[in-house]
Amino acid sequence: QQQVKQSPQSLIVQKGGISIINCAYENTAFDYFPWYQQFPGKGPALLIAIRPDVSEKKEGRFTISFNKSAKQFSLHIMDSQPGDSATYFCAASTQGGSEKLVFGKGMKLTVNP
Amino acid sequence: DAGITQSPRHKVTETGTPVTLRCHQTENHRYMYWYRQDPGHGLRLIHYSYGVKDTDKGEVSDGYSVSRSKTEDFLLTLESATSSQTSVYFCAISSLGPYEKLFFGSGTQLSVL
Protein backbone atom coordinates (compact mmCIF):
# COMPACT_ATOMS: atom_id res chain seq x y z
CA GLN A 1 0.00 0.00 0.00
CA GLN A 2 1.16 3.48 -0.77
CA GLN A 3 1.94 5.39 2.39
CA VAL A 4 2.08 8.81 0.73
CA LYS A 5 -0.40 9.65 -2.03
CA GLN A 6 0.34 12.62 -4.22
CA SER A 7 -1.98 14.48 -6.60
CA PRO A 8 -2.28 15.56 -9.31
CA GLN A 9 0.16 13.52 -11.41
CA SER A 10 0.83 16.46 -13.68
CA LEU A 11 0.00 20.13 -13.81
CA ILE A 12 0.30 22.87 -16.38
CA VAL A 13 0.10 26.49 -15.26
CA GLN A 14 0.80 29.83 -16.83
CA LYS A 15 3.66 32.03 -15.76
CA GLY A 16 2.64 34.02 -12.71
CA GLY A 17 0.01 31.53 -11.63
CA ILE A 18 -0.22 29.46 -8.46
CA SER A 19 0.78 25.79 -8.52
CA ILE A 20 -0.69 23.54 -5.84
CA ILE A 21 0.40 19.97 -5.16
CA ASN A 22 -1.36 17.85 -2.58
CA CYS A 23 -0.20 14.89 -0.51
CA ALA A 24 -1.99 12.62 1.92
CA TYR A 25 -0.39 10.17 4.31
CA GLU A 26 -1.58 7.18 6.30
CA ASN A 27 0.93 6.68 9.09
CA THR A 28 0.19 8.98 12.03
CA ALA A 29 3.71 8.39 13.33
CA PHE A 30 5.15 10.51 10.53
CA ASP A 31 6.49 13.79 11.85
CA TYR A 32 8.74 15.09 9.08
CA PHE A 33 7.36 16.13 5.69
CA PRO A 34 9.83 17.30 3.04
CA TRP A 35 9.30 18.30 -0.56
CA TYR A 36 11.92 17.53 -3.18
CA GLN A 37 12.34 19.12 -6.60
CA GLN A 38 13.88 17.25 -9.51
CA PHE A 39 14.99 18.62 -12.87
CA PRO A 40 15.46 16.26 -15.84
CA GLY A 41 18.71 14.33 -15.65
CA LYS A 42 19.40 15.42 -12.08
CA GLY A 43 18.89 13.98 -8.65
CA PRO A 44 16.13 15.33 -6.41
CA ALA A 45 16.98 18.31 -4.23
CA LEU A 46 15.35 19.29 -0.95
CA LEU A 47 13.07 22.28 -1.49
CA ILE A 48 11.34 22.81 1.84
CA ALA A 49 10.24 20.71 4.81
CA ILE A 50 7.78 20.99 7.69
CA ARG A 51 7.13 19.35 11.03
CA PRO A 52 3.62 19.01 12.52
CA ASP A 53 4.18 21.60 15.24
CA VAL A 54 3.41 24.33 12.67
CA SER A 55 0.58 24.54 10.14
CA GLU A 56 2.46 26.52 7.52
CA LYS A 57 6.02 27.22 6.46
CA LYS A 58 7.07 29.69 3.81
CA GLU A 59 10.36 30.05 1.99
CA GLY A 60 10.30 32.63 -0.75
CA ARG A 61 7.63 31.67 -3.28
CA PHE A 62 7.22 28.19 -1.80
CA THR A 63 4.79 27.45 1.04
CA ILE A 64 3.91 24.19 2.75
CA SER A 65 0.50 23.95 4.37
CA PHE A 66 -0.04 21.15 6.88
CA ASN A 67 -3.32 19.74 8.18
CA LYS A 68 -2.61 17.17 10.87
CA SER A 69 -6.22 16.15 11.50
CA ALA A 70 -6.79 15.47 7.81
CA LYS A 71 -3.34 13.88 7.40
CA GLN A 72 -2.67 16.10 4.42
CA PHE A 73 -0.03 18.57 3.37
CA SER A 74 0.41 20.64 0.28
CA LEU A 75 2.98 22.70 -1.59
CA HIS A 76 2.00 26.06 -3.02
CA ILE A 77 4.22 27.76 -5.56
CA MET A 78 3.31 31.41 -5.90
CA ASP A 79 4.09 33.44 -9.02
CA SER A 80 5.12 30.27 -10.85
CA GLN A 81 8.02 30.69 -13.29
CA PRO A 82 9.15 28.58 -16.28
CA GLY A 83 12.25 27.72 -14.22
CA ASP A 84 9.96 25.98 -11.72
CA SER A 85 9.12 23.36 -14.36
CA ALA A 86 10.27 20.14 -12.73
CA THR A 87 8.99 17.05 -10.98
CA TYR A 88 7.99 17.52 -7.35
CA PHE A 89 7.95 14.77 -4.75
CA CYS A 90 6.39 14.89 -1.34
CA ALA A 91 7.72 12.56 1.31
CA ALA A 92 7.27 11.60 4.95
CA SER A 93 9.25 9.98 7.73
CA THR A 94 9.82 10.16 11.47
CA GLN A 95 12.51 12.03 13.33
CA GLY A 96 15.11 9.50 14.32
CA GLY A 97 14.30 7.25 11.42
CA SER A 98 11.98 4.77 13.10
CA GLU A 99 9.86 5.14 9.99
CA LYS A 100 11.86 5.30 6.77
CA LEU A 101 11.45 8.17 4.34
CA VAL A 102 8.75 7.29 1.82
CA PHE A 103 8.08 9.31 -1.30
CA GLY A 104 4.96 10.08 -3.27
CA LYS A 105 4.96 9.13 -6.95
CA GLY A 106 5.79 12.64 -8.07
CA MET A 107 4.09 15.42 -9.99
CA LYS A 108 5.39 16.91 -13.20
CA LEU A 109 4.88 20.67 -13.27
CA THR A 110 5.05 22.62 -16.50
CA VAL A 111 4.97 26.40 -16.32
CA ASN A 112 4.25 27.99 -19.68
CA PRO A 113 5.79 31.39 -20.45
CA ASP B 1 25.85 17.74 -6.22
CA ALA B 2 27.03 18.21 -2.62
CA GLY B 3 30.20 16.17 -3.12
CA ILE B 4 28.51 12.97 -4.28
CA THR B 5 29.78 11.02 -7.25
CA GLN B 6 27.97 8.05 -8.69
CA SER B 7 29.66 5.69 -11.11
CA PRO B 8 29.05 4.63 -13.71
CA ARG B 9 26.54 7.18 -14.98
CA HIS B 10 25.17 4.75 -17.55
CA LYS B 11 25.42 1.00 -17.84
CA VAL B 12 23.94 -1.65 -20.08
CA THR B 13 24.24 -5.23 -18.95
CA GLU B 14 22.76 -8.62 -19.62
CA THR B 15 20.35 -10.60 -17.52
CA GLY B 16 22.10 -12.81 -14.99
CA THR B 17 25.30 -10.80 -14.70
CA PRO B 18 26.40 -9.15 -11.45
CA VAL B 19 26.57 -5.38 -11.41
CA THR B 20 28.09 -3.02 -8.87
CA LEU B 21 27.25 0.65 -8.62
CA ARG B 22 29.44 2.97 -6.62
CA CYS B 23 28.61 6.03 -4.58
CA HIS B 24 31.46 8.19 -3.34
CA GLN B 25 31.04 11.20 -1.05
CA THR B 26 33.49 13.84 0.07
CA GLU B 27 31.22 15.34 2.76
CA ASN B 28 32.00 12.84 5.55
CA HIS B 29 28.24 12.38 6.09
CA ARG B 30 27.22 9.52 8.32
CA TYR B 31 24.10 8.37 6.52
CA MET B 32 24.01 7.01 2.99
CA TYR B 33 21.13 5.63 0.96
CA TRP B 34 20.38 3.89 -2.30
CA TYR B 35 17.09 4.63 -4.03
CA ARG B 36 15.67 3.52 -7.33
CA GLN B 37 13.38 5.68 -9.42
CA ASP B 38 10.83 4.20 -11.79
CA PRO B 39 7.97 5.86 -13.66
CA GLY B 40 4.79 5.65 -11.62
CA HIS B 41 6.63 4.59 -8.46
CA GLY B 42 8.52 7.64 -7.35
CA LEU B 43 11.62 6.93 -5.32
CA ARG B 44 11.91 3.69 -3.39
CA LEU B 45 14.54 2.88 -0.78
CA ILE B 46 16.72 -0.13 -1.53
CA HIS B 47 19.26 -0.10 1.30
CA TYR B 48 20.68 2.42 3.68
CA SER B 49 23.67 2.82 5.97
CA TYR B 50 24.04 4.42 9.36
CA GLY B 51 27.80 4.16 9.34
CA VAL B 52 30.72 2.01 8.33
CA LYS B 53 29.66 -1.64 8.15
CA ASP B 54 26.22 -0.65 9.47
CA THR B 55 23.59 -1.25 6.80
CA ASP B 56 19.97 -2.27 6.64
CA LYS B 57 17.28 -3.10 4.13
CA GLY B 58 14.77 -0.76 2.58
CA GLU B 59 11.42 -1.51 1.01
CA VAL B 60 12.75 -3.01 -2.25
CA SER B 61 15.92 -4.82 -1.17
CA ASP B 62 15.36 -8.22 -2.81
CA GLY B 63 18.10 -8.94 -5.34
CA TYR B 64 20.38 -6.21 -4.01
CA SER B 65 23.21 -6.14 -1.51
CA VAL B 66 25.32 -3.28 -0.20
CA SER B 67 28.63 -2.71 1.48
CA ARG B 68 30.18 0.22 3.26
CA SER B 69 33.76 -0.40 4.32
CA LYS B 70 34.68 3.29 4.39
CA THR B 71 32.68 6.38 5.34
CA GLU B 72 32.97 7.78 1.84
CA ASP B 73 31.95 4.75 -0.23
CA PHE B 74 28.64 2.91 -0.44
CA LEU B 75 28.42 0.12 -3.00
CA LEU B 76 25.23 -1.36 -4.41
CA THR B 77 25.46 -4.82 -5.98
CA LEU B 78 22.87 -6.50 -8.13
CA GLU B 79 23.76 -10.09 -7.53
CA SER B 80 22.20 -11.41 -10.75
CA ALA B 81 20.66 -8.62 -12.76
CA THR B 82 17.09 -8.99 -14.04
CA SER B 83 15.11 -6.86 -16.46
CA SER B 84 12.95 -5.65 -13.57
CA GLN B 85 16.04 -3.95 -12.17
CA THR B 86 16.26 -1.64 -15.16
CA SER B 87 15.94 1.71 -13.45
CA VAL B 88 17.63 4.94 -12.45
CA TYR B 89 19.57 4.47 -9.24
CA PHE B 90 20.25 7.38 -6.92
CA CYS B 91 22.63 7.57 -4.02
CA ALA B 92 21.92 10.07 -1.27
CA ILE B 93 23.69 11.26 1.85
CA SER B 94 22.66 13.10 4.99
CA SER B 95 24.27 14.23 8.20
CA LEU B 96 21.60 15.80 10.41
CA GLY B 97 19.80 12.57 11.12
CA PRO B 98 18.33 9.60 9.30
CA TYR B 99 16.29 10.79 6.33
CA GLU B 100 16.70 14.50 7.08
CA LYS B 101 17.87 16.84 4.37
CA LEU B 102 19.05 14.27 1.85
CA PHE B 103 21.53 15.28 -0.83
CA PHE B 104 21.22 13.18 -3.96
CA GLY B 105 23.76 12.25 -6.57
CA SER B 106 23.11 12.59 -10.30
CA GLY B 107 22.03 9.00 -10.73
CA THR B 108 23.02 5.90 -12.66
CA GLN B 109 20.87 4.79 -15.56
CA LEU B 110 20.99 0.97 -15.61
CA SER B 111 19.53 -1.08 -18.43
CA VAL B 112 19.33 -4.86 -18.07
CA LEU B 113 18.71 -6.58 -21.40
Cα–Cα dist A13/A23, whole Å = 19
Instruction: Kindly tell me if the per-residue pLDDT of A86 is higher than 90.
Output: yes
Q: How far is B14 from chain A (nearest CA, A)?
A: 24
Domain residue ranges in chain B: 4-112
The CATH class, in words, for B4-112 is mainly beta
pLDDT at B2: 64
Q: Which of B42, B97, B100 sits opposite A89 (nearest CB)?
A: B42
Cβ atoms A50, A105 nearer than 8 A: no
- Most A CBs within 10 A among B32, B45, B46, B102, hence the mutation to make, goes to B102
What are the φ and ψ backbone dihedral angles of B102, each rounded to 5 degrees? -75, 140
pLDDT at B1 over 60: no
**Stretch A18-40: mean pLDDT, rounded?**
95
Q: Looking at A6-15, A17-26, B6-15, B90-99, which range is the least confident one?
A: B90-99
Any CB–CB contact under 8 A between A105 and chain B?
yes
pLDDT digits (tens, 9 = 90+) for B65-112: 999 999 999 999 999 999 999 999 999 999 877 788 899 999 999 999
Q: How many CB pairs under 8 A join A and B?
A: 58
Give A73: exposed, middle or buried? Use CB within 10 Å, 0-12, 13-18, 19+: buried
Confidence class of residue A95 from pLDDT cuts 50, 70 and 90? Answer: confident
Rounded distance between C-alpha atoms, residue B34 and residue B39, angstroms: 17
Answer whether B59's CB lies under 8 Å from A100's CB: yes
CA-CA-CA-CA dihedral for B73, B85, A30, A44, to nearest 10: 60
Q: What is the mean pLDDT of chain A?
A: 93
pLDDT value of position A98: 73
- Could you tell me the sign of the dihedral formed by the alpha carbons of A34, A88, A47, B28, in that order? positive
Cβ-based contacts of B106 with chain A (< 8 Å): 41-43
On chain B, the residues whose CB falls within 8 A of the CB of A87 are: none
The region of weakest confidence among A55-64, A96-105, B84-93 is A96-105
Cβ atoms of residues B67 and B51 within 8 Å: no
A75 CA: distance to closest CA in chain B (Å): 17
The residue ranges of every structural domain in chain A are 4-112
CB A25 within 8 A of CB A71: yes
Burial class, A16, CB count within 10 angstroms (exposed 0-12 / middle 13-18 / buried 19+):
exposed
Instruction: Indicate the residue type of A14.
Output: Q
Model confidence over B46-66: pLDDT tens digits? 999 999 999 999 999 999 999
Task: List residues of B whose CB lies inside 8 A of any A CB.
Answer: 1, 40-45, 48, 58-59, 90, 92, 97-107
Q: What is the Cα–Cα distance from B41 to B18, expressed in whole angstroms?
A: 24
Strand B42-51 and strand B54-57: the pairing is antiparallel
Average pLDDT over residues A74-81: 97
Quick check: B58 and A100 CB within 8 A?
Answer: yes
Sequential DSSP letters for chain A: --SEEEE-SEEEEETT--EEEEEEE--TT--BEEEEEE-TTS--EEEEEE-TT-SEEEETTEEEEEETTTTEEEEEESS--GGG-EEEEEEEB-TTSSS--EE---EEEEEE-
In CATH, the number for domain A4-112 is 2.60.40.10
CA nearest to A35 within chain B: B101
Q: How far is B17 from chain A (nearest CA, A)?
A: 26
Does A106 touch chain B if contact means CB atoms closer than 8 Å?
yes
